[in-house]
């Protein structure tokens, strides 16, 4: 699944990058906390699966597949909510969800 993560992050590189930057700007340290909440197996899958942008992959997964795990206070920021909405409305989001479901990466 690692190479697929990389492909979908590259397709949505600009939006995921802006979302990442906005979260870091508004909530310093929140991305590190989200990364630490990930299980060891998920971290290994992301880091060793050709995913160069590990935290962006994690953020893409939160924003598209596991929105309920993204802290609610972050979605209160209008720009963050707009980026998450943009990611979910893209054509690639449906394909990403499909691949995540068939590989069991939820």
pLDDT (tens digit, 9 = 90+) per residue, 28-80? Answer: 999 889 888 887 777 777 666 655 688 888 888 889 988 888 888 898 999 99
Count each helix (H run) and each strand (E run) in the chain, helices first: 8, 0
The token pair at 11 is 């397709």
Q: What are the distances in angstroms from CA 94 to CA 10, 40, 47, 52?
A: 16, 26, 23, 22
The pLDDT score that the predictor gives to residue 88 is: 93
The pLDDT score that the predictor gives to residue 49 is: 61
Which tens digit of pLDDT belongs to each residue from 82-95?
Answer: 999 999 999 999 99
């Amino acid at each position: 699944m690692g190479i697929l993560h990389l492909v979908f992050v590259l397709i949505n590189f600009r939006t995921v990058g802006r979302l990442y930057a906005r979260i870091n700007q508004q909530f310093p340290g929140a991305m590190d906390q989200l990364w630490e909440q990930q299980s060891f197996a998920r971290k290994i899958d992301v880091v060793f699966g050709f995913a160069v942008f590990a935290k962006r992959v994690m953020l893409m997964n939160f924003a598209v597949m596991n929105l309920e795990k993204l802290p609610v206070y972050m979605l209160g920021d209008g720009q963050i909510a707009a980026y998450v909405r943009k990611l979910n409305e893209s054509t690639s989001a449906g394909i990403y969800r499909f691949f995540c479901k068939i590989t069991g990466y939820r």
